[in-house]
Chain A
Amino acid sequence: MNAFVDSEARAVTGVELQNSSLAGASITVRDLARGFGGKPVLRGLGLHVPAGQFLAVVGRSGCGKSTLLRLLAGLDRPDHGSIFFDNRSGENPKHIARVMYQEPRLLPWATVLANVEVGLGPNRDIAGGRDRAFEALSAVGLADRADEWPAVLSGGQKQRVALARALVSQPRFLAFDEPLGALDALTRIEMQQLLESVWLRDGFTAVLVTHDVVEALTLADRVVLLRDGAIAGDFFVDLPRPRRRGNSELARLEGQILDQLLSS
C-alpha cells in the first residue's frame, strides 16, 4: 500500500499543510440543532474545525454523529443553527464537500473508471476528465481495474474506488461516514494508511465519523466525543505520523476516551 504514496508526501506533517492556501476549508458550526420525529438528535452544537485539520467524531450509536456529518456535507438541513465554510455564509457545501459513505455506493452498471468520473460532477464531460479520473484511480492503486464492473471487486477495492471518486474533484472538505466499518481488520489498516497519505498529500479538511477509538486516534489531529447531541469531550492528538500501533501515548488517550464514552 505504501507504494501508492510518494515518500515525500508522507514526510509532510499536517501542521504545515494547515498553512497552505486553498487546500482545506475551515468549518464553523454555531448552535446546530436537528431532530427527527420530534426527538432532538443534535441540540445546540458548536464546533470550529480549522482548515486542513483531520477531525474524528466518536460516540455511541444514535448520539448524532452521522447526523452531524450529513449536515456538514449538505445532505440534510438543520432545524436551526448555521454552518460556515471559511467564515462565509451561503456557501453551498455541495461545491466544497465530498462524502465517503459506509457503503461504497458504486453504480453497478458503470465501469470502475466511469464511477470515478461521476466524482467530477458537472465537469465530467469536459476534455481531460477521463485522464483525471484515471489519475485518481492510479492514486488508489486500481488503474489496472479501470474497465471492470464494480461487482467483481472486493469490499476494500470498492471502497478505494469510492475514495478515488471523492478525491477526483479535489474537494476542500472530505466527510467520512464510517467508511471502513464494513472492512476486515487487515484491509482496514491498509485503508487507514491510504486515507492518511491522501490527506497529507491533498491537505483537505477531513471529518471522520467512527465507532473505533483506535482508528480515530491513528488518523486524527483531534478527537471530539459526542454525547446526547452535544460535544462531551475534545482531545488533541499531538503525535507524529505515521502513528504506530501500540504507542503508549495512544494507549493512554484511548483509555481516557473509552472511559468517557462508557461512563455515560
Chain B
Amino acid sequence: MFFPIYINTLHGVRTVDPQFIEMAESYGMGPPTLFWRVILPGALPSIFVGLRFALGIMWLTLIVAETIAAQSGIGYMAMQAREFMQVDVVVLSILIYALLGKLADVVARALERATLSWHPAFQKA
C-alpha cells in the first residue's frame, strides 16, 4: 500500500517544473508556502496515480490473504462455500469484491476530480 504511493509521490515532486520553483522563489515564497502552493499541487496528479495503483494491490493482497490464511472474511466465506458446493455464495463473494473495488476506485476518482479541476484532462469540454 505504502510503496507505490511513495514512489509516485517522489516522482511527482521531482518532476515539478523548476521554472515554477524559480518563479515562486523570485516572488519571495518561503519553503512552507512553496510546498503548499507549488510543490504539493504539482505532485498531486502523480500522488493519485500512486494511490489508485496502491488500491489495486491492496485488494489483491486482501483477497489472497482472506482466501488462503484467514478464519473469517469474504474470502473465507467463499472457500467454505466451495467446500459445500454452494455456488450462489461463491458468486455473491465475487460480486462483493467487485463492488468494493469499484467503490474504492470511484472514491479515488471523485477526489481527483475535486482536487485536480485545474488540470486540462479534468476539464469539461
Contact = CB atoms under 8 A, between A and B. Distances in A.
Interface in A47-101: 73-75, 94, 98-99, 101
B82 to A, nearest CB: 50
B118 A109 contact: yes
A220 interface: no
Given A107-B41, A151-B123, A101 B118 contact: no
Nearest to B24: A118
Contact of A110 (B27, B28, B44, B118): B118
B40 to A, nearest CB: 9
Contacts of A108: 118-119
A235 interface: no
Contact of A109 (B26, B27, B30, B41): B41
Given A110-B37, A151-B118, A151-B123, A105 B23 contact: yes
Interface residues of B, number: 21
A122 interface: yes
Interface bracket on A: 20 to 34
B19 A121 contact: no
24 contacts: A73-B26, A99-B26, A105-B19, A105-B20, A107-B37, A107-B38, A109-B41, A109-B44, A109-B116, A109-B118, A110-B118, A118-B24, A118-B27, A118-B29, A118-B37, A121-B27, A121-B28, A121-B29, A149-B117, A149-B118, A149-B123, A150-B118, A151-B123, A152-B123
Interface of B: 19-20, 22-24, 26-30, 37-38, 41-42, 44, 116-120, 123
Interface of A: 73-75, 94, 98-99, 101, 103, 105, 107-110, 118-119, 121-122, 149-152, 165
Given A75-B26, A99-B23, A107-B41, 6 more contacts: A74-B26, A94-B28, A105-B23, A121-B27, A122-B30, A151-B120
